[in-house]
Structure 1
C-alpha cells in the first residue's frame, strides 16, 4: 500500500521539546517514517454531563499503512459499566480506509463511524455521530481553550509517540432513546501518531524475574498497592478535571515509581489557575488512589499539584460512574474539588487484565 502523502513540512527533521508548538498541518495525517503496518494515528474526543453522571467518548485509530481504521463510540452512566450494560456502545475493527485520499481535517469515518470537521486549525472542531437504528446521536462542538500541549517523545509514557492534549469547551446534544440531553462541559481531546500495538519479537523479550517483588521499586505497604506498582506491566493512569476554562489540571501518574504509602508521582500535564496554564513540576506533584474493594476500580483520589512556577493546588475527587471494556481497570467520570470549586473529568486506569485480577484479589483477601 502507498504511504500517506501529507505536507512536506510534516517530514522535516527537527529537535522536538515540550515547548515545540504544533502547526496547522498537524490537524492532518502524518507520513510514517517507514512502511510499519502498526503506524497509527488517533483522534479522541470526550464529554460529560454531570447532572446525569454521564461520560462519553468518540475514538478512532487509523492504521494508515495497512489501510484500516478501528473506531468506537460509547456513553456510560451509573447504571452499568460493562459494554453490554452501557447506555450506548459500538465498535468497528479494521474497517477498510484509504488515508491516501482522506483528510483528517474533514473526515467521515467509514463503517458507520463519526465525522470530524476542523473549524479553526488546532482550536475548533465539529464532531457528529448518528445511529438511526438505535435512536442515538451525538452532536458536539469543541472550542479549544488553549493551544494543544505537547510532551517530549522519549519520556514515559510517550517513548515513541507524538502526543497532544487540549482542553476545550464542549457543547452540543446527546440523543438517546428519544431524549435530547444538552451537553455543556469542559473536557479533553487528544491525538497521537506513532507505531502502536506491534508484538515484541520473541527473541527480544527480556527475561522476567521469577519473583514479582523484584519488579517493585519501593517495596512495602499494603499488598494490593505493591502489586499495583510492579514495573513492566504496562500500567498507565491518566487523570484530569476542570471547573471551566480557568481552573483545573491534567496529569499522567507514574504508578510504577510510587512509594509504599501509595503516592505516585505525576508526569507531564498542567495546572491552570486564574486562567494561566503552566506545566506541572514532575518532582513535586503526586496522586494517591483509593480503590473500591468490590470492583477494584478507582473510588477516590487525593492529588497534590505543583507547577513549574511554584503554584500549588490540592485536589480531591471521587468516581461517579465507570466503563470497563476489557475486564481490567476502568475509565471513570470523576467529580473533583479544588480551589473552592467543583470540576469534572476522568480517571483512565489502564491495566493488563491478569495484572488487575491479581491486585483485586489482594484487595479482597480475607486472610
Structure 2
C-alpha cells in the first residue's frame, strides 16, 4: 500500500455514514534522561463533528492521569467546518502544519501557563501500513512511521528540550467506543534512528505472539516473522515490570530486546485502559533504545486479572 499527500488530510470521502467512523493523528515524544514522555493525540469523528484528545506529559513521579505533570484529554470538542488536518489548530489545542507531505511536520500545543509545545517531526522512513486485520486495530486503515522529533516543551514554567527518535501513526475507518480485545503495541528506536522496531502483539498470560510489526535497519523496514513477547508484572499493581521481544524478521535475521519501564501513564480510553510506559530497551548486542509499551486492556479484563491475582 502506498500513501500520498492527501493522506495527511481527513478521509471523509472514504467513510460510511456511521457515526463511529473515526480519524486519528498521534505523535509521541520523550526525554529519556528525564524519564519523561509525551503525546499529542487527536481523534476526530467527522460524521458526529467531534474532536477529542489533546496532550499529556508524564514522568516517574506518578502514573494516574490525574497526578501526572500534565493531562488534557478532551471528549467532545466541536469539529470546525472546513478543517484541513494539513494546516490547523484543533479545538483540543493540538496544532499541525505539514511542511512536506508524509515527511515533515510542525507541531504545537498551548495551555499557558501549564504547558506549551513547539516540536518538529522529520520522518526517517516511509509510512508502514498495518496489514493484519486480526490485530487489535481491526479493519482500520492504519500506518506507523518513525521520525526524529526536536524542539522543546515548557512545563509549568520549566523549559525541557526534546530530541528523540519516536513514532507517529495515522488511522481512519470504523472505531466503535469499545475495544474488543487486549493488545500490546510496543516500539523501540535507537537515538540515531539506525535501528527500531514495532510489534503489535496479542498477549496471553505472560506471553504472546506478534500479529504485525517490522524491524527498521538503516531506513529499511522489514516485516516481522515469528516473534514473541514475554513479560512480567508487578504483583501489587498488575503493571509491566519487564518485557522481552524475541524473533526473526522476514529476511531471516534474528533479534532480541529486553525492556524495562522508566515511567508510565494510565490513560482512560472509553471502555478500555491504556497503561502506557516509556521503555528503555537493550538489544542482544548491548545497543540501547527507547520507546513505549501500550498495554491495552478492556477494563473488565484488567479488573478480573487483578481480582484473581489478589486471591
TM-score range, shorter chain: over 0.9
Name the CA distance, whole Å, in 2 between partners of 1:55 and 1:184: 12
1:150 to 129, 134, 140: 129
Cross-structure match for 2:9? 28
Q: Is the 8 A contact 1:62 1:70 kept in 2?
A: yes
Cross-structure match for 1:115? 95
Cross-structure match for 1:132? 112
Name the CA distance, whole Å, in 2 between partners of 1:22 and 1:329: 28
Cross-structure match for 2:290? 344
Cross-structure match for 2:162? 183
Check if 1:242 corresponds to 2:189.
Answer: yes
1:165-208 alpha-carbon deviations (Å, 9 max, x no partner): 00000111010121111101110000100111257xxxxxxxxx
Give the helix-richer structure, 1 or 2.
1
Name the CA distance, whole Å, in 2 between partners of 1:62 and 1:249: 27
Cross-structure match for 1:206? none
Name the CA distance, whole Å, in 2 between partners of 1:161 and 1:118: 23
Q: Is the 8 A contact 1:271 1:305 kept in 2?
A: no
Name the CA distance, whole Å, in 2 between partners of 1:62 and 1:265: 31
Q: What is the 5 A alignment of 1:239-318? A: 239-243=186-190, 244-255=192-203, 258=204, 262-281=206-225, 284-318=226-260
Name the CA distance, whole Å, in 1 between partners of 2:216 and 2:26: 22
Q: Is the 8 A contact 2:125 2:219 kept in 1?
A: no
Check if 1:43 corresponds to 2:25.
Answer: yes
Give the number of aligned pairs: 305
Check if 1:333 corresponds to 2:255.
Answer: no
- Name the TM-score, length of structure 2 as normaliser: 0.93
Unmatched tracts of structure 2, length 5 or more: none
Shift of 1:97: 0.9
Q: What is the 5 A alignment of 1:7-18? A: none
Shift of 1:355: 1.1
Q: What is the 5 A alignment of 1:38-117? A: 38-98=20-80, 100-111=81-92, 113-117=93-97
The higher radius of gyration belongs to 1
- Name the TM-score, length of structure 1 as normaliser: 0.79
Shift of 1:35: 1.4
Name the CA distance, whole Å, in 2 between partners of 1:137 and 1:85: 18
What SS class does the counterpart of residue 254 from structure 1 fall into? strand
Cross-structure match for 2:299? 353
Shift of 1:140: 0.9
Name the CA distance, whole Å, in 2 between partners of 1:198 and 1:85: 25
Name the CA distance, whole Å, in 2 between partners of 1:153 and 1:311: 21
Q: Which deviates more, 325-334 or 306-315?
A: 325-334
Shift of 1:248: 1.9
Unmatched tracts of structure 1, length 5 or more: 1-19, 200-231
1:319-344 alpha-carbon deviations (Å, 9 max, x no partner): 11110123945100000001321100
